[in-house]
Structure 1
Amino acid sequence: PEKRIVRLYGQQNFLNNSSRAQATATQVNTAAGEGYDELSRQAAEAQQAGNASKAIETYQKALQLRPEWDDGRWNLAMLCFSTARYPEAIASLKIFLERKPAFGTAWAVMGLSEFETRDFKNALIHLERGEELGFGGSAGSVRVARLRLATLLNLDGQFERAMQTLAPETASSPLDKEVQLVLGVALLRRRLLPEQIEPAKNSLIETAGEVAALLQNSKYDLAFTKFELILKEYPGIPFLHYAFGTALLALSRYDEAEKQIREELKISPQSELPYLRLASLALKRRQPAEALPLAQRAAQIAADSTEAHYLWGRASFDLGQNETAVRELESASRLSPGSPEVHFNLAKAYVRAKLPEKAEEERTIFAHLNALAEQQRSKTGNQAYGAHNAADVGPNRTESAKPTPQHP
């Protein structure tokens, strides 16, 4: 399946792109130098004829004479990618992106090439950049890019984002098997590549992926029925009760949600997640005294969890412990400076602490971030399950701010 996916992306975008090769050939009249003209013509002809090796060699020679030839550089990169010459594709794309940094498809192809060379850190950075700028190509090509990005997000522990990345791919029926596996890995919070799934767990992961797809499409009744069936067969699987409880919370079915999350607590007492969900639930029920020790325990387990400090700060504020509230909300703000909710509640704490200038600064930041969040929701929609699961406070311990794309 891996090689098939690579061929799909390359072929659908470029190897069948004879018209692009013809367009490249027509540009030779504008280039200076007979050597370059002849080499660019030969390269385009070889590409049209399907002779990838000769086309690559000839493009390389032409680019030595004319390094700024962007179409040639792009064709070279895609020929290398499509023929599994990934290091050469990466090298060519680095040069291309220095001149065309806003071309999302180029970032995506570089990330896909790095994925194939097992450079997962850079692959994640560059696929994220491609997603921000926009993946190009056919529906199949975009699906490949989303699959790889979601797979890398799973490896990085960003499970909610992995599911949200694949949300556009869940509407089709039947569900693509590879999409289903990656979704299942995300729902069960496993840092795994699909090929690392144990054969004995394959059925579980597939069913979990089916449930995740239903949740992404807000088909809760069907998802809940499947949750109950899975839990009968696999009652002790970590994070299955947690996922069920989180989905129930999204529909404000608090008593049922609490039951599931407390079951998760028995299975995963060393994870901060059930403590966070129970603390959040207690605050929804206006029970800050119950929320406080749960949030504190979560912060003990995961000191760099934004949500733990946020919930600790909110519970402290509701209990009148404003000094602690300010401290914890400031910690949450440092961990996730892009969270509107954190800045909103920090402004409230500053008002109570009689720090009007700081409060006004936080209100201004909140207004800006909230407007950006509304714009994003208008583009992507607001699935109830994903929206609740993200807790509206930014990344948790397993998530981090996106690094700036670099040219190594």
Structure 2
Amino acid sequence: MTPISIFWFRRDLRLTDNAALYHALKGDYRVLPLFIFDQNILDKLPKDDARVTFIYETIEALKKELQQQGSDLLVKYGKPEKIWPEILKEYQVKQVYTNHDYEPYARERDDNMAEFLTSEKIVFKTYKDQVIFEKNEILKADKTPYTVFTPFYKQWHAKLNDFYVKAYPTKKYFKNLLQTRHLPGPGLEDMGFEKSQLDFPKLNYTNKLDNYAKERDFPALDGTTHVGLHLRFGTLSIRKAVKDALEAKSNVWLSELAWREFYMTIIWHFSYAAFDSFKKQYDKIKWRNNEEEFKAWREGNTGYPIVDAGMRQLNQTGWMHNRVRMIVGSFLSKHLLIDWRWGEAYFAEKLLDYEMASNVGGWQWAAGSGNDAAPYFRVFNPELQTKRFDPKLEYIKKWVPEFGTKKYAQPIVAHTFARERVLKVFKEALS
């Protein structure tokens, strides 16, 4: 058998500007790319999960690109801990290259893989790829992590230069891909999934950047970039996104990209915050957790039109406008006193662009339990939010067509009553 290196795709589904792929191609052996449809993740998903369709279609496109180079992508379905021993029987693997991942499951998986591969005398190399700065690269003077965004961002921005946004020239080294016959892989149906009918956002965001700061908060406008899905699965390089932001002088969008890294840093340093309140005293809150009210929120039948519009947009498209995400998050945790983790789990199921760090960070921000969060006594008034961000009710009328008729739901709770109740409950838990 010919000795080879394997490059393991995970959250970096592109051939261009890919850190670990670049290093693999410049290494000592021919490179076979690999993707594993991980059952540890897939087994928890509904069978019509649109993200699996997106990944599958992206993998098929990558296979075609690689086949044009005389190579291919090895695609497996199963649990990585069982797949890897099978691969080692099939190929003489000398080195494995992959990019860092920061979520709790991914860290555990990679620690186990490093231990296994090392025991097999195989070198396991990992690289930074999905962020500009990671782990301990942005720290306070006392070498502890930032827990407030503004000082984090000041240092992040000050450290940023051309070196950090320079693309990895992977295409120059495609000649070092392993030449192989076409490799069969599993179909969607083989893995028990159905093809989703949802539309996936295209990568055409640069025309949005000039007006991003002015338009991003208004859900009736198509003013946001829709790159979340592409950053989540790495079909867009973060280096390209940041470079585009700098060239367009879109400082607001640049800060949004930095928020994503801030939340990833929080998850890295405070892994408990993926599942529990960052501010631990918030775990003492006595949530009401009313199942009927949670159902009304999920289905967009709360009687609060801006909340209902957001939830229906999510349910129908797999996406929700960023401003509205804050409104529906605040409404669930503060108006209805339902545990933010319930909402976070629902978003995890429905959002195409679901990313654990940002989603947990956003939910804890809304609930008040996160680092640098909205204070507990800040309770979004959905009516005022509507007047400010959907003054002509265009967004609401699009997603809640029965709004203004007798068919529309009555408000599930009065705003003034809900505000007084949540302040009392939070104050008791936090005092």
Pair in the same fold by TM > 0.5: no
For Structure 1 versus Structure 2, the TM-score category normalised by the shorter chain is under 0.3
Q: Which has the higher contact order (CA 8 A, sep 6+)?
A: 2
TM-score normalised over the length of structure 2: 0.24
**Structure whose alpha-carbon radius of gyration is higher:** 1
Higher helix share: 1
Q: Higher strand fraction: Structure 1 or Structure 2?
A: 2
